[in-house]
Amino acid sequence: MRSPDELSDLFRASGRKVTPQRRRIFELLEGNSSHPTAESIYLELVKDMPTVSLKTVYMTLKELEEMGEVQCLDLGMGSSRFDPNVDGEHHHLVCVSCGKVRDFQLSQNWDLKLQVPDEMFSVSKAEIVFRGTCATCRVIGSRSVVENSDKVHIS
């Protein structure tokens, strides 16, 4: 994702307006590798802007997605996760215990798309989802389970 300043210019250049709400959402997303939900962005946003609405967050995220500045990930955990990391193709480690999502780069540069015969299916995106338990949860799990949290926090 581009910087808040660059995004602001891009928005204005395409006839969109740069509101304080949008500006703040850009800032919250910049360099955010926590794969936040719309809700978790909203919860940060509402600290500064008590009257902001969740709808605004959804709308801004959709704009950014359409502009290719964020990607929306559906990892089957109830809500969509938003990812400002769109420059390099990467995959995801999803912890089934705490819900955290981490980026993961394949060490070998396998071209997954080439696996599918083009006449059968024209692949536009190939993504691997690794489900399992993160290092933190493995330790916690071996001691007590009560502290495990499903909450998604923004970093």
Partner DNA sequence: GATACATTTTGCACTAGTTGTAAATGATTG
Partner DNA sequence: CAATCATTTACAACTAGTGCAAAATGTATC
148 in Cβ contact with 137 (< 8 Å): yes
Task: Determine, following the binding rule CB under 8 A, whether residue 122 of this chain makes contact with a second copy.
Answer: yes
56 makes contact with Mn ion (CB under 5 A): no
- If one asks whether residue 128 binds a second copy (CB under 8 A), the answer comes out as yes
Residue type (1 letter), 4:
P
Is 109 among the residues that bind a second copy (CB under 8 A)?
no
Of 31, 53, 130, 150, the residue at the interface with a second copy (CB under 8 A) is 130
What end-to-end distance do the CA atoms of the chain give, in Å? Answer: 17
Alpha carbons 129 and 114: distance in angstroms, whole number: 18
Could you give the CA distance from residue 69 to residue 84 in angstroms, rounded to a whole number? 6
* Segment contacting DNA by CB under 7 A, of 75-83, 92-100, 102-110, 117-125: 75-83
Site string for Mn ion, 105-124 (x = CB under 5 A): --------------------
- Tokens coding 39: 């809700």
Binding of residue 64 to a second copy (CB under 8 A): no
Task: State how far the Cα of 21 lies from the Cα of 36, in Å rounded to an integer.
Answer: 17
Give the residue from 73, 63, 79, 74 showing the smallest Cα distance to 25.
63
Which residues contribute to the site for Mn ion (CB under 5 A)? 83, 85, 103
Which residues contribute to the site for a second copy (CB under 8 A)? 73-77, 80, 93, 95-96, 102, 104, 106-108, 110, 112-113, 115-116, 119-135, 138
